[in-house]
Amino acid sequence: MKFTVTILGSGAAKPTGERLSSAHVLNVHEHFFLIDCGEGAQISMMKHGIPIQKIDHIFISHLHGDHYFGLIGLLNTMHLLSRKNELHLYCFPELEKIISLQLTTSETQLTFKLKFHFLNNKKSEMIMENKYVSVISFPLKHRIPTCGFRFTEKKRSRNIKREFVLQHKIPVEWFPRILSGEDFIDEHGFIHKNEDIVRIQSVSRSYAYCSDTAFDETIIPAVKDVSMLYHEASFSDEHESVASQKFHSTSRQAAMIAMKANAGTLIIGHFSARYKNAGILTSQAKEIFENTIEAFDGLTVEVDS
Ligand SMILES: [Zn+2]
């Protein structure tokens, strides 16, 4: 089953020719979740084959422009495509006013319903849950209210192997017995071992997104043991004091969080435009946490358990 993340924008506040501002898309079993929506995100989605109309949930970490300036453009495109499905927006309350002003000024009546869900930057909480995934928001340490998000795949239940069901025409009354661990005895009295006929779920996978934050160990419990952690890494060691003044992190600090949280993989991004090449940021992170991936626009990574 699919669980991938695509980086639509890996740059910081000022986009460059190579890096757009923050936006990620998570594909969980072909359900698409957009996380932040910096300027140009919809163009990046088109370029990288993300089906815009399949996005039903958008998460905006905070209201610095590089994390949501692409939103009104995306909503307008969905409208022009005559979208009908309700769209859920998870954000701080001011965004509703901003969107509403933009829509009323252009006399746009969207073809679909926008449902707002407001974030709480005082504590972690579950903000969304469906059959496939649950999402928790948690506070980050930034200049304005900011939340990170953790997406956890729902553990899949035990399934009887389809080929076995077809081959042996198992009576329906046997289904719950087999799923509860019983061996199956066929009409000839032959015993089929439970472990041979049941497919066990894999361990659930998870992805955490820390958009903009100063180095802050209090976020560790929220990202503990996550399969893949994205943590901003705007600066290198050389600019550590700039990072702390601006409530951002260095790549080494991102790696410290990944290590202390026992993350499986770390993706770093949100690179300041001052770095023509992010190699120095990646090598500094790798000194602490070897399994570090340097984000670039268009990168798609499979999240492993
Ligand atoms: Zn910010």
Tens of pLDDT along 42-57?
Answer: 999 999 999 999 999 9
Q: How confident is the model at residue 305 (pLDDT cuts 50, 70, 90)?
A: confident
Alpha helix stretches (DSSP H) within 13-69: 41-47
Q: How confident is the model at residue 203 (pLDDT cuts 50, 70, 90)?
A: low
Cβ atoms of 60 and 95 within 8 Å: the answer is yes
Dist CA 141 CA 189 (whole Å)? 64
Residue 278 to residues 142, 178, 213, 282: CA-CA distances in angstroms? 22, 53, 19, 6
In the prediction, which pLDDT does 195 show? Answer: 87
In the prediction, which pLDDT does 39 show? Answer: 96
One of 66, 186, 225, 297 is an active-site residue; which one? Answer: 66
Active site (annotated) includes residue 66: yes
- Whole-number Å distance, alpha carbon 171 to ligand 1 midpoint, is 58
Share the mean pLDDT of the chain. Answer: 94
**Residues 6+ positions from 71 with CB-CB distance below 8 Å:** 37, 41, 58, 60, 95, 99
- Whole-number Å distance, alpha carbon 62 to ligand 1 midpoint, is 7
Residue type, 77: T
Q: pTM of this prediction?
A: 0.85
- Whole-number Å distance, alpha carbon 176 to ligand 1 midpoint, is 51
**What tens digit of pLDDT does each residue of 2-14 get?**
899 999 999 998 8
Closest CA to 125 of 91, 149, 96, 143: 149
- Whole-number Å distance, alpha carbon 64 to ligand 1 midpoint, is 5
Q: How confident is the model at residue 169 (pLDDT cuts 50, 70, 90)?
A: confident
In the prediction, which pLDDT does 5 show? Answer: 97
Dist CA 189 CA 186 (whole Å)? 5
In the prediction, which pLDDT does 187 show? Answer: 85
Closest CA to 72 of 106, 47, 46, 24: 106
- Whole-number Å distance, alpha carbon 244 to ligand 1 midpoint, is 13
- Whole-number Å distance, alpha carbon 139 to ligand 1 midpoint, is 13
In the prediction, which pLDDT does 139 show? Answer: 97
Q: What tokens appear for 140 in the block?
A: 């980050």
**What tens digit of pLDDT does each residue of 97-107 get?**
999 999 999 99
**What tens digit of pLDDT does each residue of 240-296 get?**
999 999 999 999 999 999 999 999 999 999 999 999 899 999 999 999 999 999 999
- Whole-number Å distance, alpha carbon 30 to ligand 1 midpoint, is 29
Residue 298 to residues 57, 183, 195, 270, 279: CA-CA distances in angstroms? 20, 47, 41, 14, 17
